[in-house]
A and B are shown apart, each in its own frame.
Chain A
Amino acid sequence: RIIPDSVTVITDNSTHNTTWHDFARFLDIEKGSHVSGMSELKKYLNRFGYLSVLNKNFTDVFDSEMQSAVVLYQQKLGLPVTGKLDSDTISTIMSPRCGVSDKEHKIHTTKR
C-alpha cells in the first residue's frame, strides 16, 4: 500500500457551526406558515441584503416580506424563482459563503 508523503488529518468539526445547517428543516415551508426558528432565516436574509426592516425583532412567520426576500434571493443567486423555500434555495442558503452583502451598495468604510 502506498502511503502519501504528507497527509494533514483535521478533525471534522462541522458541528461547531450549526446555524445554517438547521435551515434544512425549513424545506418546503410556504407563505403563511409559523415555524419556530424562522426568525433566524429572516436574520440571514437581512444580513445579506434581502430583507430590510426597521424593526429587527423578526417573527417566526413566513410573511409577505419574507416571500419577497426569497424571490429577491432566488433572482440574485440565479435560482429558479418560486418564492418558496424549495430544495435549491435551501441548499444554496446553507452553503458556505462570502460575508460581503449581496446588496450592491454595501460599503463598510469609515472616513476619518
Chain B
Amino acid sequence: YSYFYGKPRWVRLSPLTLTYAFSKSNTIDYISLSDIKDVFKRSFSRWSSVIPVNFTETEEYELANIRISFYSGDHGDGQPFDGVLGVLAHSFSPENGRLHLDARETWAVDFKAVKSKVAVDLESVATHEIGHILGLAHTSVKEAVMYPSLSPRAKKVDLKVDDVEGIQELYGSNPNFKFSSLLESANSSNHG
C-alpha cells in the first residue's frame, strides 16, 4: 500500500463521521439512483468495517464531505475523462472529498443484466475510489482493491490484507474488526 505525499487523512474527532452526497445534475440515467446508492452504501460499509469511521448519506451535496458525480469529458478539474474504457474514474486525496466517475462508461451493478463487453463494475470502482478519498494511493498488490487497473466485467470489491493494513495505519482499527475474519473470508472465497 502507499499514500499520497504528506500522508493526508481526514482529521476530525473520533469516532469520525463523514457525510456523502450524490450530484443530482451530474449523474447517469440508465441505473436507478436507488441502485447507485445501494452500491455506494455497500462500498462505504466495507471501509467502515475495518476503521473507526462512519459514513452517512446527506442530501446537501455542496455541504457533504464526499461529493459523488458522473461527468463526461472535460469537467473543469484539469483531468478530462476519455470516453469508453481508458480512465474509469478519479478522486482526490483528503480532505478534498471529490469522487468523479466517467459517465460514458457502461457502468453495471449486475453483470447478469448487462451484456456489454465493456461493462465496468460500479461497486469495484466505488470501493477503490473511496480508498483514495480516505488517503490511500495505488498499490502494487494485484489482488488488492487499491491496484490501479480493473478489467471490464471484472469484480473486485473485497478489501485485502494490503488495503486493510494501509487504511488502518491512517485511522486505526475498528474495535469490532478481526484480521482473522478477513483471512477466513479470503479462504472461503478461494475455495468457493
Rounded to whole Å, the gap between the CB of A19 and the closest CB of chain B is 6
Q: Say whether B113 faces chain A, with CB atoms less than 8 Å apart.
A: yes
B86 in contact with A17 (CB, 8 Å): yes
Contact across chains for B8 and A107 when beta carbons are under 8 A apart = yes
Give the interface centre of A17, A95, A100, A102 by most chain B CB atoms within 10 Å. A100
Is A98 in contact with B142, judged by CB distance below 8 angstroms? no
Question: Do A108 and B113 touch across chains, with their CB atoms under 8 A apart?
Answer: no
* Chain A residues near B115 (CB-CB < 8 A): 7-10
Minimal Cβ-Cβ distance residue in B for A102: B138
CB distance B137 to A104 under 8 Å?
A: yes
**Among listed A27-35, A58-66, A72-80, interface-contacting one:** A72-80
Are A76 and B138 in contact, with the CB atoms below 8 A?
yes
Q: Does the CB pair A98–B88 fall under 8 Å? A: yes
CA distance A80 to B119 in the complex (A): 28
A6 at the interface (CB under 8 A from B): yes
- Mask, B137-156, CB within 8 Å of A = 1, is 11011100001111110000
Which listed residue, B88, B90, B104, B117, touches A12 by the CB 8 Å rule?
B117
| Across-interface contacts of A7 in B (CB, < 8 A) | 113-115
Task: Indicate the size class of the contact surface on chain A.
Answer: 20 to 34
Minimum distance in angstroms from B97 CB to a CB of chain A: 10
| CB <8 Å contact, A97 and B149 | yes
The residues of B with any CB-CB pair to A shorter than 8 Å are 2-6, 8, 30, 77-79, 81-93, 96, 104, 106, 112-120, 125, 128-129, 132, 137-138, 140-142, 147-152
Inter-chain CA distance A8–B113, complex, in Å, is: 6
Asked if residues B93 and A96 are in contact (CB atoms below 8 Å), the reply is no
Most chain B CB inside 10 Å of its own CB: which residue of A95, A99, A105: A99
Cβ contact within 8 Å between A14 and B93: no
| Residues of the A chain whose Cβ atoms lie less than 8 Å from the Cβ of B83 | 16-17
Q: Are B128 and A8 in contact (CB under 8 A)?
A: no
Q: Point out the residue from B84, B114, B138 that lies within 8 Å of A17, measured CB to CB.
A: B84
State A12–B117 Cα separation when bound (angstroms).
Answer: 7
Residues in A with CB closer than 8 Å to B119 are: 10
Nearest 3 pairs of A and B residues by beta carbon: A105-B5, A99-B90, A99-B87
- Nearest-neighbor residue (CB-CB) of B77 within chain A: A108
Cα distance, A104 to B137, chains bound together (Å): 6
Closest CB in chain A relative to B137 CB, distance in Å = 5
Write out the residue numbers on chain B whose beta carbons fall within 8 Å of the beta carbon of A108. 77-79, 92-93, 96
- B30: contacting residue among A8, A19, A97, CB under 8 A: A8
For residue A92, CB closer than 8 A to chain B, the reply is yes
In the bound complex, CA of A59 to CA of B88 (Å):
27
A101 to chain B, nearest CB (A): 8
List residues of chain A with CB within 8 A of the CB of B151: 95-96
Which B residues are in CB contact (< 8 Å) with A104? 2-5, 137
CB distance from B56 to the nearest CB of A (A): 23
Known contacts A108-B77, A108-B78; A13/B118 CB under 8 A = yes
